[in-house]
Structure 1
Amino acid sequence: MVRATRGVLAGHWYFEIKVLRLGPTGHARLGWATEKGDLQAPVGYDGSSYGYRDVDGSRVHRAQRERYGAEGYGEGDVIGFYLGMPDGERYAPRPPHLVWYKGQRYMYNTDGKDESPKVVPGSEISFFKNGVCQGTAFKDIFGGRYYPAASMYTMPNEPNCEVRFNFGPDFDFFPENFGGRQTPRPMSDVPYHGYDDKVEGPVENGLSEKVN
């Protein structure tokens, strides 16, 4: 899984991914993941990520696939990702403490225990295909800082898979109607928050990722 560097705890947010190439054997799972999502596994593998699958348009969470979209997606399609987290800060886990030891940076919890995730009431994730909403995929998701994420895989010796992230503000298929949902902000508006509390400016667009 690849994951963006800027995430959100609360609010209503949107970004797009264009599927550039999958090849004859390539597949993709695209979506959102927190910092606890396993980078060595596809989106939707664990409880910290939520995915949208290309094969049949199913949704994936905790490695469980469920029927969702009427059809899958493929090369040339633009997928939109909507995240709604009203009052999400109240339900986010406490940030870990940061310490330096012998030139290395370490994170730890003061009580030595991982905090159980809390559900954010009224939260949701929805996916759009070429500007058309596929419906609400997930409701009342766990609190945390969510990042755009993608995972792709193909057979050896096949052409690389490739997708392009578009964090906005200029989108290919920004929906005119979000079906009663609050109009989201583009992910390009999100500043970078490091563990050292350093804040940078908005992200520049045009990130492309290739995976074989």
Structure 2
Amino acid sequence: MVVISASLLTKQGKILLARQFLEISRSSLEGFLNSFAKLVDSDRQHTYIDQENARFVYQPLEDIYLVLITSKDSNIIEDIETLRLLSKVVQHYCPFGPDEANVLKNSFELILAFDDVIALGYRESVTLSQILTYADMESAEERIFKEKQKAQMQEAKEQAKRKQMELDKKRTLENLNNKSLPPIEEMPREALRPVIPEKEKEKVVETQVVSNVKKPKGGMTLVSRGKKGMEI
């Protein structure tokens, strides 16, 4: 047998869950299920409907339908056995009734269980207890993974916190060092000028006077020495 898809939909034709096991486009799958909703007879408990290129094997579960879309040459007896196993899976994960709300709430677990029953279109040799064991193992692995992920996130937060504390400490030390340095006062320009002793000032004046020597036409040199008089 080849199972194309396993689906849950309301009796009004609303698709709640659809798991395809072979490559099929979403539009094609929706087209199959819409055709089923038009052809189904609600008076029967479980049966099948043959279409031109597929077969619908279905079972009503209170307000919803569990539907298998299979190839037309599949073994109908095996199809019905697979359908019954899937119905037990649905009832296990929806103990308060497989209505729309419960199916949507447990859709992830239902899809994983469907994958344990059917692989690549063919039924696996499993029982309900084995499926539940697989689910528990996957749940345990998921919990371990989440705990590791949580621990890694916590460690990353702690490292970021320590780094921030180090940066804050470094800034505080820099601020303290800047406050301990004496302030640089601006000095007046007069204070920056060099202090010249009085004797040095006289030498500077004499040098300036010598540089101002005048040579008259007669060839005599006159040297002025300020208030002390003139020497010839």
TM class, shorter-chain normalised?
Answer: under 0.3
User: TM-score, normalising length from structure 1?
Assistant: 0.24
Which of 1 and 2 has greater Rg? 2
Query: Larger relative contact order (C-alpha < 8 A, sep ≥ 6)?
Result: 1
Higher percent of residues as helix? 2
